[in-house]
């Protein structure tokens, strides 16, 4: 037996419309940041994402150095993916799941400068320095597979993927709202 899809009450619906509009405006701001210079690091979302990133290093540390280093970015992407999946599987909340996907896209936007920076490190890391193979996750990861010279191309790809996920998730959330409006809230004449 499948669970019914979540349908908000009228008050919740209009709050979701306002939330969606805020996310659209916020996305325009985030997508306007230059990933090549690390401007994303000054955004509000960078700080909560950093908590997940750093926790990932600790969680994955039991699997050896390479996975410990990769675990930061893995955990940073896993948490919003779990949020997205949880909202869909548990609540059948397509709007909430779309915003979880948005958060996943923003996580990719946040990782992109770090990947891009691995070839010629300029970003200031948590230790207050620019990267070295021992302190820069993506320099270490890409060097270990002989691809550090491709970091800028990979950073562009991660940014493009993140931007795509952000846009598609907002379109999906908007479509869900439109569908809910047409189905449940439009005045019948």
pLDDT for 62 beyond 50 = yes
Question: What is the distance between the alpha carbons of residues 83 and 104, in angstroms, rounded to a whole number?
Answer: 9
- Average pLDDT in the chain: 89
* Other beta carbons less than 10 A from residue 106's beta carbon: 26
At 41 the pLDDT is 85
By the 8 A CB rule, do 134 and 140 touch? yes
The model's confidence at residue 24, banded by pLDDT at 50, 70 and 90, is very high
* Other beta carbons less than 10 A from residue 118's beta carbon: 26
147 to 31, 153, 155, 158: CA distances (angstroms): 26, 10, 12, 15
CA nearest neighbour of 138 among 154, 121, 118:
118
At 189 the pLDDT is 37
At 169 the pLDDT is 98
Q: What is the mean pLDDT of residues 107-131?
A: 85
Q: What is the mean pLDDT of residues 120-137?
A: 75
The model's confidence at residue 13, banded by pLDDT at 50, 70 and 90, is confident
Domain ranges, ordered by start, for the chain: 39-184
At 185 the pLDDT is 65
Q: What is the mean pLDDT of residues 59-82?
A: 96
At 28 the pLDDT is 97
CA nearest neighbour of 100 among 184, 160, 23, 10:
23
- Full-model pTM: 0.89
pLDDT for 34 beyond 80 = yes
Q: Who wins on pLDDT, 34 or 189?
A: 34
At 4 the pLDDT is 56
């Amino acid at each position: 037996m499948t669970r019914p899809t979540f349908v908000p009450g009228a008050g919740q619906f209009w709050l979701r419309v306002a939330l969606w509009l805020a996310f659209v405006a916020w996305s325009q701001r985030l997508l306007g940041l230059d990933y090549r210079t690390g401007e994303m690091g000054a955004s509000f979302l960078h700080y909560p994402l950093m908590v997940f990133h750093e926790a990932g290093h600790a969680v994955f540390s039991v699997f050896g150095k390479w996975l410990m280093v990769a675990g930061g970015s893995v955990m940073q992407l896993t948490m919003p993916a779990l949020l997205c999946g949880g909202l869909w599987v548990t609540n059948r909340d397509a709007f909430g799941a779309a915003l979880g996907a948005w958060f996943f896209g923003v996580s990719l936007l946040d990782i992109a400068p770090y990947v891009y920076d691995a070839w010629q490190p300029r970003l200031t890391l948590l230790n207050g320095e620019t990267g070295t193979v021992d302190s820069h996750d993506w320099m270490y990861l890409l060097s270990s597979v002989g691809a550090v010279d491709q970091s800028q191309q990979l950073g562009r790809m991660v940014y493009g993927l993140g931007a795509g996920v952000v846009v598609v998730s907002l379109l999906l959330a908007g479509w869900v709202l439109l569908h809910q409006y047409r189905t449940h809230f439009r005045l019948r004449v």
